[in-house]
Amino acid sequence: MIKCVIFDFDGVLRNWEYDLFLLERLYGIPLDAFREVAFAPECVGPAIRGEITDEEWMENVGQILKKRYPDQDMDAAMEAWSSRIGELVPEVPEIIRECKTKLPVALLSNATSKLNADLKSLGIDDLFDHVINASEIGSIKPEPEIYLRALKITGVDSHEAFFTDDRAENVEAAAQLGFAAHFFETPDGLRGALHDAGVL
């Protein structure tokens, strides 16, 4: 019996891909340049492990991009990027609220120190019973430790937890630990999986 539903953040609840696309076009930066630099493991890793702050991560990204694209106004581009919070994926907040009427819901994210501020800016800082941020734990998905910490925080066993994520390796890691794990592709697919699990 499922006693807690655990959601990923980026790619499940929030989408910011379009923001990056617009910034790259606006500032004349090659497509995917932000992603290639900012989300390279050696760059984002320390930020989502809590070794550096979100601000320090952004500064590092800016310095690398300035060296690669010296003719572009990277200071303005980075300032614009840091002010963006993305947008909520349609229907998913409603699904989470439906789940919350029946059992506890949690957020499990490989996020930086900016997570709580982003949740507040998006108007969903009260949506979850538990917010589990990798940068506060010091372990990231798909490492087992962060899932085990999530179970401890939510007070359930792995077979009592439903977990959804848009990254296959994170879903597989949860499944190996005994979670009811769902690979997120669409809100309808998520709703169907929650129905099959007896949650909705």
| Residue given tokens 């581009």 in the structure block | 77
| Residue given tokens 């809590």 in the structure block | 50
Q: What pLDDT digit, counting tens, does each position of 59-116 carry?
A: 999 999 999 999 888 889 888 888 888 899 999 999 999 999 999 999 999 999 999 9
Q: Which two tokens stand for residue 177?
A: 């630990």
Task: Single out the residue in 64, 82, 100 at which a domain terminates.
Answer: 82
Same domain, 121 and 170: yes
| Residue given tokens 């949650």 in the structure block | 199
Same domain, 63 and 107: no
Same domain, 29 and 64: yes
Stated pTM of the model: 0.93
User: By residue range, what is the domain housing residue 64?
Assistant: 17-82
CA distance readout (Å), 184 to 40, 89, 154: 23, 12, 21
Same domain, 66 and 116: no
Residue 158 belongs to a domain with what CATH number?
3.40.50.1000
CA distance 83 to 117: 11
Number of domains in the chain: 2
Query: CA triplet 13, 196, 177: central angle to 5 degrees?
Result: 70
Same domain, 10 and 94: yes
Same domain, 10 and 21: no
Q: What pLDDT digit, counting tens, does each position of 107-166 carry?
A: 999 999 999 999 999 999 999 999 999 999 999 999 999 999 999 999 999 999 999 999
State phi, psi for 19 to the nearest 5 degrees: -60, -45
- Local structure of 149: helix, strand or coil: helix
Q: What pLDDT digit, counting tens, does each position of 9-26 carry?
A: 999 999 987 677 888 888
* DSSP bridge partners of 131: 107
Same domain, 77 and 93: no
CA distance readout (Å), 86 to 36, 122, 135: 18, 8, 20
Same domain, 52 and 107: no
Element (H, E) at 187: helix 187-196
